A and B are shown apart, each in its own frame.
Chain A
Amino acid sequence: MNRRFAGAALALTALTLLIAASASSPAAQRPAPPSLGSRSSSFGGQAGVDRMVSGAEVGLSGGQLVVIQRAEPRTLNPVIAIDVSSKDVIWRTMADLIHINRETQLTEPALARSWAVSPDGRRFTFSLRRGVRFSDGHPFDADDVLFSFQVYMDEKVASPQRDLLIVGGQPIAVRKLDQETVQVDVAEPYAAAERLFDEIAMLPRHLLEKPYKEGRLSETWGLRAPAEAFAGLGPFRFKEQLPGERVVLERNPFYWKADRAGHQLPYLDRLVFTFVPSEDAQAVRFQSGEADITTRLSAANFAVLFRDQSKRNYELIDRGPGLDYTFLFFNQNNPAEKAPPAIARKLTWFRQVLFRQAVSLAIDREGIVRLAYRGRATPLWGHVPPGNKLWVNRSLPRPGRSVERARQLLQKAGFAWNADGALVDNEGQPVEFTVVTNVGNTERIQIATIVQDDLKQLGMRVSVVTLEQRALLDRLLTTHEYEACVLGLGGGDGDPNSEMNVWLSSGNTHLWNPGQSQPATSWEAEIDALMRRQLTTRDVHLRKRLYDRVQELVAQNLPIISLVSPSVLVGATKGLGNFRPTVLDHHALWNVEELFWRRRSPGAPQ
């Protein structure tokens, strides 16, 4: 791909050296950006840059886009960011070697213009794009790549990306062949290894090496840092921020993508992120026209905005099921030694597959879709939602709701009903338990309330308790003091490798029974084997078959009872060109460099 720029100008090397020599000074000034005035000159002083050409519609330059988000980013440092609100901003200013195209869900070249894989699948050779510069004008080369991987793999930095870069128990080995070629060795053949490099941001060595050596890397690039302290390879660069209110990014004049007409991207001059504390406030502000793009809309607010759509200057888009899946699961941990017998007895119910199957059969998934999501969700019987088009197993059975059959299963498992119609176990103890979920997450609370009512028909007494996110995770993963939980998982790139931690019995997010030393059940052992095997299989079709089997095992044994996959709902002001939201994350902003205003809307804020 993109071989058309292979014969890059030689003149560039001299310039590279020149700037590299002066770059050690922290006060290095930003070189004057190339002129942007008219289209014919949009290549400015950057002749010979090995550009990537976007296939999207050719647009108009200028204007700003206001994006409204639910939380302020906690940091602008890609090495330590874990929350969505930080990542949404950071990834407008950063770039990776290989990128997963959010629309096709396949990998495509980014800062690496091409890559080669050795026949044994363990060696990757990246050819870097020539003439690429950071947003402060400093050239990007193989040393930056080496530095970036060194940072990500440093244990002291504790980057969340570190786990991904350890394959077969060993960190990947990165070597520089020349200024434009980098070689990466992995310890064992690794399926879809090129997907590993997605969202590993390439860092500017000239700015970050000093703080890294001083052990201050995780404190750099906080929200309060001055604009000169930042440099990235993304379409925008940090300009200014107002605490609690907004972060302003401006066009990166050195960006390495161009459109088909040869104009340098991005089209927009400014990208403004504003923050409101709640989902409802987000919808109200969008409705009043204070923002151009809103993502992660709840179905309820989508309905409110939808009703008004014809009167207002915005359009709403329902992209159908995303990668998120919401499910119910029971605590299957070993009871703690000093746990009261009442708790231990409950755990024995939850460990019976017939019990879980009965619960699954009694839940009205269609009702959940209708009530909690106002129809904007898809019922699930397996954990991979249909939005994950490459991996979903479409042949899983979808048993309809049947209280009758659920009762038969419970009977088979030794449960009975007393005179009041309450379900009792073989010792005559009534089946009562609590479902915990996130406080403030309306949909999950509604799901729990619907489940409560459905299970009442089986004679189970369920109560619903909401907990603050941190308290909830602490109970689930650390103290194991809960009985059942409604939770959601998602994000990631859809590849099974991104969920290794969930499905491996030793994984620390193996929610129902995390961190096991030995698989507790035979089906967990089988899932372990399948997941490990697909991890090192390079044949995509075989991997799909292996993962299909995992989905089957999960659907049969129901460690998690998949319920629904919410639809991806976004809204945008009318007249935004190339606006094609995706179901993968960064839904509306994945192609922000291609977005443009068809014509300036008269009331657009400047």
Chain B
Amino acid sequence: MLGLLGLVYLSAVFAGFLAPDDPATQNRDLSFAPPTRLHFGDGTRRLHVRPFVYGLARSGDSDAYVEDRSRIYPVRFFVRGVPYRVAGIFSAERHLFGTDRPGRLFLMGSDEYGRDQFSRFLHGGQISLFAGLLGAGLSLGVGMVLGGLAGFYGAWVDETIMRVAELFLALPWMYLLFAVRMALPLHIEPTEAFLLVLAVIGLIGWARPARLIRGIVLSAKLRDYVAAARSLGASDLYLLRRHIWPQVLGIALTQGALLVPQYILAEVTLSFFGLGVGEPVPSWGNMLASLQRYQVLSSYWWMFVPGLALIPVFLLYYALADALHQRAAALSL
């Protein structure tokens, strides 16, 4: 499970290497090209060891494309292509695969500007997957600190924190984001927009984990061994670290695994409505945004791919949460 999820995240980190193309390069002659077919045979009974693709041409005045069979473009591996950066640290220009120009290998078709959907999908994963991870981390972190404090100290600390949490639960976060976006200057950088979205959804989302953690801490601190430790003069910090933290950790991790997909979905939703990262930077949400249009929705099935990709990612996270839950249950017994 963890291995599979790790692979998913690695593919996002190494998007530049795995993607054959730059996610922002437009090919204006190839808008909404369907996924390119890989061929092994060229119709002359000769089988090619190396798969190849044909070029695309418009068929008449209609929207459809036909393969131009006059020339083949073999698929090559470890080719030199557009330069990219890995994790923002080192730059390279080797790609896992590619074809000779002007041949194009659109594994997932192309979008309205003729940009390679597969490359955009991988690069978009960088935004969407990490937004989920960071957003969940942020809200869980804040939630654990505040929930822990509320549960451990009780009394007015508990009252205050829990009432504020209820306030946050009642906030319609979507409208809040609309309002925040309106209040900002017209132009903000895609990275700033990304961080902003993260900060807002992360900070609003702390209330739910905080309530959960508070409950755990509350029940943990009433256990006999905690009372015993306290009567022996253990400090608050010792109690938290030694006796309560291990109780909380398992639950918190399970909670985290459940929160990540929620935050991935939050990013997708926000970008879908144009509140997330802006063009030309891809994210799964803004890639799906073109499906708001009837023409795209009814004509180009490959535009759904980023949405479909959410399903296995979510299933992996839920399976992970399940496994974590069982481990935590086994530990606490």
Write the residues of chain A forming the contact surface with B, with a CB cutoff of 8 angstroms: 280, 283-284, 300-301, 303-304, 307, 364, 367, 370-371, 374-375, 434, 436, 439, 442, 446, 449-450, 452-453, 463-466, 481-482
Bound CA–CA A481/B187 (angstroms):
12
- The answer on a CB contact under 8 Å between B280 and A436 is no
- Identify which of B29, B63, B187, B278 contacts A374 (C-beta below 8 A): B63
Answer whether residue B235 sits at the interface, using C-beta atoms and an 8 A cutoff.
Answer: no
- The answer on a CB contact under 8 Å between A453 and B26 is yes
Bound CA–CA A450/B24 (angstroms):
11
| Residues in B20-40 with C-beta less than 8 Å from chain A | 24, 26, 28-29, 31
Cβ–Cβ < 8 Å partners of B294 in chain A? 280, 283-284, 300-301, 304
- Identify which of A307, A364, A434, A481 contacts B28 (C-beta below 8 A): A364
| Residues in B276-296 with C-beta less than 8 Å from chain A | 278-280, 293-296
Bound CA–CA A446/B186 (angstroms):
18
Bound CA–CA A446/B295 (angstroms):
14
Question: 16 A-B Cβ contacts within 8 A?
Answer: A284-B294, A300-B293, A300-B296, A304-B298, A307-B62, A307-B299, A364-B28, A370-B28, A371-B113, A439-B274, A446-B112, A449-B280, A453-B113, A465-B187, A466-B274, A482-B186
Bound CA–CA A307/B61 (angstroms):
11
- The answer on a CB contact under 8 Å between B113 and A450 is yes
Bound CA–CA A342/B112 (angstroms):
34
Whether A303 contacts B63 in the complex (CB less than 8 A), given A371-B113, A442-B293, A463-B187, comes out as: yes
Bound CA–CA A449/B31 (angstroms):
14
- The answer on a CB contact under 8 Å between B186 and A465 is yes
- The answer on a CB contact under 8 Å between A280 and B293 is yes
Bound CA–CA A219/B150 (angstroms):
59
Bound CA–CA A370/B114 (angstroms):
11
- Identify which of B61, B112, B295 contacts A304 (C-beta below 8 A): B295
Question: In the complex, what's the smallest C-beta–C-beta distance from A317 to chain B, in angstroms?
Answer: 16
| Residues in B293-324 with C-beta less than 8 Å from chain A | 293-296, 298-299
Bound CA–CA A303/B296 (angstroms):
11
Whether A464 contacts B278 in the complex (CB less than 8 A), given A370-B28, A370-B31, comes out as: yes
Question: In the complex, what's the smallest C-beta–C-beta distance from A91 to chain B, in angstroms?
Answer: 28
Cβ–Cβ < 8 Å partners of A300 in chain B? 293-296
Cβ–Cβ < 8 Å partners of A283 in chain B? 294
Smallest Cβ-Cβ distance to B292: which chain A residue:
A280
Smallest Cβ-Cβ distance to A279: which chain B residue:
B294
| Residues in B76-114 with C-beta less than 8 Å from chain A | 112-114
Bound CA–CA A406/B129 (angstroms):
40
Beyond the given A370-B28, A375-B61, please list 12 additional residue pairs across the A-B interface where CB-CB is below 8 A.
Answer: A300-B295, A301-B295, A303-B295, A304-B298, A304-B299, A434-B186, A442-B293, A449-B280, A452-B280, A453-B26, A453-B113, A464-B279
Smallest Cβ-Cβ distance to B298: which chain A residue:
A304
- The answer on a CB contact under 8 Å between A436 and B186 is yes
Bound CA–CA A524/B299 (angstroms):
47
| Residues in B180-196 with C-beta less than 8 Å from chain A | 186-187, 189
Question: In the complex, what's the smallest C-beta–C-beta distance from B214 to chain A, in angstroms?
Answer: 41
- The answer on a CB contact under 8 Å between B280 and A453 is yes
Bound CA–CA A283/B112 (angstroms):
20
Bound CA–CA A482/B186 (angstroms):
8
Cβ–Cβ < 8 Å partners of A439 in chain B? 274
- The answer on a CB contact under 8 Å between A463 and B112 is no
- Identify which of A371, A442, A465 contacts B31 (C-beta below 8 A): A371
Bound CA–CA A449/B113 (angstroms):
9
| Residues in B185-240 with C-beta less than 8 Å from chain A | 186-187, 189
Cβ–Cβ < 8 Å partners of A284 in chain B? 294
Bound CA–CA A9/B278 (angstroms):
71
- The answer on a CB contact under 8 Å between B112 and A371 is yes
Cβ–Cβ < 8 Å partners of A463 in chain B? 187, 189, 278
Question: In the complex, what's the smallest C-beta–C-beta distance from A440 to chain B, in angstroms?
Answer: 9
Cβ–Cβ < 8 Å partners of B189 in chain A? 463
Bitwise, B148-174 to A at CB < 8 A (1) or not (0) is: 000000000000000000000000000
Question: In the complex, what's the smallest C-beta–C-beta distance from A564 to chain B, in angstroms?
Answer: 14
Bound CA–CA A233/B88 (angstroms):
70
Question: In the complex, what's the smallest C-beta–C-beta distance from B288 to chain A, in angstroms?
Answer: 15
Bound CA–CA A446/B114 (angstroms):
12
Smallest Cβ-Cβ distance to A462: which chain B residue:
B187
Cβ–Cβ < 8 Å partners of A375 in chain B? 61
Smallest Cβ-Cβ distance to A471: which chain B residue:
B182
Cβ–Cβ < 8 Å partners of B62 in chain A? 307
Cβ–Cβ < 8 Å partners of B63 in chain A? 303, 307, 374
Bound CA–CA A546/B29 (angstroms):
40
Question: In the complex, what's the smallest C-beta–C-beta distance from A260 to chain B, in angstroms?
Answer: 38
Bound CA–CA A284/B298 (angstroms):
10
Cβ–Cβ < 8 Å partners of A364 in chain B? 28
Smallest Cβ-Cβ distance to A302: which chain B residue:
B295
Cβ–Cβ < 8 Å partners of B274 in chain A? 439, 466
Whether A371 contacts B28 in the complex (CB less than 8 A), given A439-B274, A465-B187, comes out as: yes
Cβ–Cβ < 8 Å partners of A303 in chain B? 63, 295, 299
- The answer on a CB contact under 8 Å between A450 and B26 is yes
Smallest Cβ-Cβ distance to A282: which chain B residue:
B294
Bound CA–CA A319/B192 (angstroms):
45
Whether A453 contacts B31 in the complex (CB less than 8 A), given A304-B298, A375-B61, comes out as: no
- Kindly list the 10 A-B residue pairs having the minimum CB-CB distance in the complex, ordered from nearest: A280-B294, A300-B295, A434-B187, A367-B28, A304-B295, A465-B186, A463-B187, A453-B26, A371-B31, A449-B279
Cβ–Cβ < 8 Å partners of A452 in chain B? 279-280
Bound CA–CA A375/B280 (angstroms):
23
Cβ–Cβ < 8 Å partners of A442 in chain B? 293
Question: In the complex, what's the smallest C-beta–C-beta distance from A349 to chain B, in angstroms?
Answer: 16
Bound CA–CA A375/B274 (angstroms):
27
Bound CA–CA A367/B26 (angstroms):
10
Cβ–Cβ < 8 Å partners of B31 in chain A? 370-371
Bound CA–CA A412/B24 (angstroms):
30
Bound CA–CA A453/B279 (angstroms):
10
With most chain B CB atoms within 10 A of its CB, the pick from A283, A284, A307 is A307
With most chain B CB atoms within 10 A of its CB, the pick from A364, A374, A446, A453 is A453
Cβ–Cβ < 8 Å partners of B28 in chain A? 364, 367, 370-371, 450
Bound CA–CA A304/B284 (angstroms):
25
Bound CA–CA A367/B28 (angstroms):
6
Cβ–Cβ < 8 Å partners of A449 in chain B? 113, 279-280
| Residues in B31-82 with C-beta less than 8 Å from chain A | 31, 61-63
